[in-house]
Amino acid sequence: MAKITRKTAPRKAPVPKKKAKPVAAKPKAPAKKSLKAMKPWTPAEVHEVFSRFRKANPEPKGELEHVNPFTLLVAVVLSAQATDAGVNKATRALFAIADTPQKMLDLGEERLREYIKTIGLYRTKAKNVIALSAKVLSEFGGEVPRTRAGIESLPGAGRKTANVVLNMAFGEHTMAVDTHVFRVGNRTGLAPGKTPLEVELGLEKVIPAEFMLHAHHWLILHGRYTCLARKPRCEVCLINDLCRWPEKTV
């Protein structure tokens, strides 16, 4: 009897794995244990921290480029899950031709998409920017509303957008909590919280009024350049003697 030999199927060439797209880090809530373990700050210590921030940088500025409250609003809406530098790159040309709600509507959604296509979620954001421009014109007389409820009623704008616009455009003492502020509030023990809202309310409670106008920017800049997510630069940190983080490296 003829011997039956099995043919083995030719091996498929391995398919190279696709590189995962980097995803903006979501604020991570601190463990319950670490929240409890931290010694609360005294008012004098909090005052000291913000005095040091003020001394080092008396007039901190946000890094989102804008030319008026409307372009600030648009820039903040575009900045969700994107970097300020990436947004600025796209908005420089956009704001040169569309710096009012009417001009944005005249530009139209399709052309707007072309300007912002380098920003993540740009299709949805373009839709929101056109819709919010229409609403600012029809319901607020073409001016960005100066109230939290008014700003939050606009498409694409939430609590953080309202806090940034109220603070930067209208000088209100609001505290916008982004990923940096969330991390710094928790790590330092200044305002531990499991959600951005908890951290926001905690910071508002402990920071003296005299610092509130700039507190949001000091904390963002501190998180962006010193208290980095993976490798905080504790050795050059202005507040390393006061910080409560058990893992600080000094």
Binding residues vs ligand SF4 (CB under 6 A): 187-188, 226-227, 232-234, 237, 239-240, 243, 245, 248
Shorter beta-carbon distance to ligand SF4: residue 88 or 226: 226
99 is catalytic: no
Q: In whole angstroms, how close is the CB of 208 to ligand SF4 at the nearest point?
A: 19
Q: Are 202 and 190 in contact (CB under 8 A)?
A: yes
Shorter beta-carbon distance to ligand SF4: residue 12 or 230: 230
Q: In whole angstroms, how close is the CB of 44 to ligand SF4 at the nearest point?
A: 18
Backbone angles phi, psi at 43, to 5 degrees: -55, -35
The H or E element that residue 181 is part of is helix 179-188
**Looking at 89, 99, 103, 178, which residue is catalytic?**
178
Q: In whole angstroms, how close is the CB of 190 to ligand SF4 at the nearest point?
A: 9
Q: In whole angstroms, how close is the CB of 232 to ligand SF4 at the nearest point?
A: 4
Backbone angles phi, psi at 83, to 5 degrees: -85, 155
229 burial (CB, 10 Å; 0-12 / 13-18 / 19+) is middle
Shorter beta-carbon distance to ligand SF4: residue 156 or 185: 185
**Looking at 33, 160, 241, 248, which residue is catalytic?**
160
Q: In whole angstroms, how close is the CB of 218 to ligand SF4 at the nearest point?
A: 12
127 is catalytic: no
Shorter beta-carbon distance to ligand SF4: residue 71 or 188: 188
Long-range contacts at 24-31 (CB < 8 A, ≥ 24 apart): 24/81, 24/82, 24/179, 25/179, 25/229, 26/179, 27/179, 27/182, 27/183, 27/196, 29/186, 29/193, 29/194, 29/195, 30/186, 30/192, 30/194
Shorter beta-carbon distance to ligand SF4: residue 66 or 222: 222
> Alpha-carbon distance 161 to 72, whole Å?
9
- Rounded to 10°, the helix 179-188/209-225 angle is 100
**For residue 118, which of 158, 88, 155 has the smallest C-alpha distance?**
88
- What's the CA angle centered on 222, arms 216 and 225, to 5 degrees? 135
Catalytic machinery residues: 160, 178
